[in-house]
Amino acid sequence: MCKAPQWLLVLVAFFISDALFAQANITIDIRGVNSQLEANVRQFLSIEQHKNHPLLSEGRLRRLHTKAPQEIAQALQPYGYYRANIKTELTHTPPEQWQATYTIDPGPPLLISEFKLVLSETLKTDSEFQDLVQNLNLGKGEVFSHVEYESIKTSLTRLAAEHGYFNAHFIEHRVEIDLEVYEARVHLHYDGGHRYLFGDVHLQQNVLEPALLQKYIPFEQGDPYTLSALIDLQQALNDSDYFRTVEVSPDQARSETKDVPVNITLTPRKPHRYTMGLGYGTDTGARARFGWEMPRLNPAGHRINTEARVSEIGYSLGAQYRVPVLNPRTDQMVYSAGIVKETTDTSDSILRTIGASLNRSRGLWRESIAINYQQEEYTIADDHGDSTLLMPGISWRRIWGEGFIYTIDGLRFDINLRGASEKLISDTDFFQVQSGIKAITSINQKNRFIARGRLGSTWTDRFHQLPSSVRFFAGGAQSVRGYSYQSLGPVNQSGEVIGGKHLMIGSLEYEHSLNGKWGLALFYDAGNAIDNLEDKLERGAGMGIRWKSPIGAVRIDLASAVSRDGNPWRIHINIGPDL
């Protein structure tokens, strides 16, 4: 008998195996269910999991397709569908293209005929457990969902751990599925046990006085334990800016005393911090900034910071000495001094100031009560003078919304009052109020509207004795675009701008995001510094480019002075957060 050469046998085996195990290309079409059910079905389908397998042959494909109805039925049950009708179809398009089609009628959902959730007495009085129970997605008459059922159990367990019920457990957690009468009965009984309290607080630090640190702690020994209070404490200490690292951790719960000690370990920041920056803005031209800060001068938490700025229109140098008071998380006394030299198209001034302010929170509002003494040498058109003012003032500010650097929906409002009297050192009398608002509202993730406005008014009998820092001017990147910085206002007989008693500015802007980083804007501005309400408001309009940088949007605007002859154009550049 003649034997075939060995190489021939190998070659025949290769071709046979290639025919048997040639990869089949399959597309899977699922019809009749929503996206949530479809996603779960695909997770259960073996044919979906193996569709890209290199050894997916026709034989294996047909076997996987045969298993599909049972797998689809199992995938629907966690969402309350136990009577599904499933039609399958497998078609072949030579050479190796296949399509599996599954048409699903999920049938009637399984409803809950009895839902019983029992909490122990300690949990019933906890407001967050009350909120959880009131917002359940399962109940009598609802479609039974294993997913929601497990979510309720997880939520109860998580909330108990976060609120110090460390011995909490389920006395009963049972679901009865009756397919004959087609209903579900749910029974949950959760016992919280004893609630643990906050125990001793152990501070490991040599940074601040213990009495000052105690004011950062939002709980006292013996208060009910909550994880949110520890997170709040961690955040407060991080935000204080005194520490390089902050570690807040609960110790082992003590069953004999039913309390949880808390350990706080703090590492101080470096004693000095320096900052530098370069930039450009159409209002200021090229500019540079240098800052120096001592974040902790002493264990009482005092700090000092200084900053020098120089630009094409002038320079400034300022220092602030900050002292924590009242609630150190939000309140501080600030003593300040500074000098500002500024030359614009309309004025030239040197301003020297010294003052003090109490900055604190009033609920959701920020309040600042201040008194400032200033001396100013100024030239405004043909007005020259040396001014001395002692100005008490008060301001309030509030911001609604989240993400102040880039805001989808938000609102900022502020109001400021200040004045001076000849009876208190000043060389003139005046009272001034100023208020601003900025609102951002989105149509969707790519489109939003931005509206802003500012009003101001001054009451005085001797306006020409007011220095430039107290007069109102308009125009610029954050005022009426299309006009240069502080170039708008009432004029003298020579046509030179001298500033106004009142201020009116409004703006409406539409912004469209191109790809998440870049965007385009259209805007219309109107406003002016005026002496009478019937005075003319200047108008500007144009378009702009937006780029989201880590420190806020970079805004480059091309604006036209609509109300000026020839509609001259001006470029404005501005950088900063939305709110």
Q: What domains can you pick out in the chain, each with its CATH number? A: 21-105 (3.10.20.310), 111-191 (3.10.20.310), 197-268 (3.10.20.310), 273-576 (2.40.160.50)
**pLDDT for 199:** 94
Enumerate residues 6+ apart whose C-beta is below 8 A from 277: 288, 289
**DSSP-assigned states of every residue in 329-393:** TT-EEEEEEEEEEEE-SSEEEEEEEEEEEEEEEETTEEEEEEEEEEEEEEEETTEEEEEEEEEEE
Quickly tell me which residue has 């993730």 as its tokens.
445
Residue pLDDT, tens place only, 246-269:
999 999 999 899 999 999 999 999
Quickly tell me which residue has 């629907």 as its tokens.
76
C-alpha to C-alpha distance for 542 and 490, rounded to whole angstroms: 25
C-alpha to C-alpha distance for 466 and 501, rounded to whole angstroms: 10
Residue type, 251: D
**pLDDT for 5:** 54
DSSP three-state, residue 13: helix
Which residues face 173 on adjacent strands? 188
Up-side HSE of residue 529: CA atoms within 13 Å toward CB? Answer: 25
Flag whether pLDDT at 576 surpasses 90: no
Flag whether pLDDT at 422 surpasses 50: yes
Residue-averaged pLDDT of the chain: 90
Instruction: Kindly report the number of other CB atoms within 10 A of residue 74's CB atom.
Output: 13
Flag whether pLDDT at 56 surpasses 80: yes
Q: What percent of the chain has pLDDT over 70?
A: 96
Q: How confident is the model at residue 344 (pLDDT cuts 50, 70, 90)?
A: confident
**pLDDT for 21:** 47
Q: What percent of the chain has pLDDT over 90?
A: 76
Average pLDDT score over residue span 308-331: 94
Q: How confident is the model at residue 407 (pLDDT cuts 50, 70, 90)?
A: confident
Q: Which of 52-66, 131-145, 305-319 has the lowest mean pLDDT?
A: 52-66
Token digits of residue 13? 């085996």
Residue pLDDT, tens place only, 69-91:
999 999 999 999 999 999 999 99
Flag whether pLDDT at 32 surpasses 70: yes
Q: Which residue has the higher pLDDT, 55 or 91?
A: 91
Closest to 73 (Cα-Cα) out of 85, 88, 91 = 85
Beta-strand relationship, 259-268 and 197-204: parallel
Q: How confident is the model at residue 164 (pLDDT cuts 50, 70, 90)?
A: very high
**pLDDT for 20:** 44
Q: How confident is the model at residue 346 (pLDDT cuts 50, 70, 90)?
A: confident
Residue pair 346/469 in contact (Cβ under 8 Å)? The answer is no
Determine the length of the chain.
579
Residue pLDDT, tens place only, 270-301:
999 999 988 887 788 888 999 999 999 999 99
Flag whether pLDDT at 18 surpasses 80: no
Flag whether pLDDT at 16 surpasses 70: no
Average pLDDT score over residue span 448-455: 96
Flag whether pLDDT at 529 surpasses 50: yes
**pLDDT for 469:** 92
Closest to 370 (Cα-Cα) out of 322, 418, 423, 318 = 418
Residue pLDDT, tens place only, 166-220:
999 999 999 999 999 999 999 999 999 999 999 999 999 988 999 999 999 999 9
**pLDDT for 248:** 94
Average pLDDT score over residue span 543-557: 88
Average pLDDT score over residue span 424-453: 94
**pLDDT for 542:** 96
Q: How confident is the model at residue 19 (pLDDT cuts 50, 70, 90)?
A: very low
* 120-124-127-128 Cα dihedral, nearest 10 degrees: 40
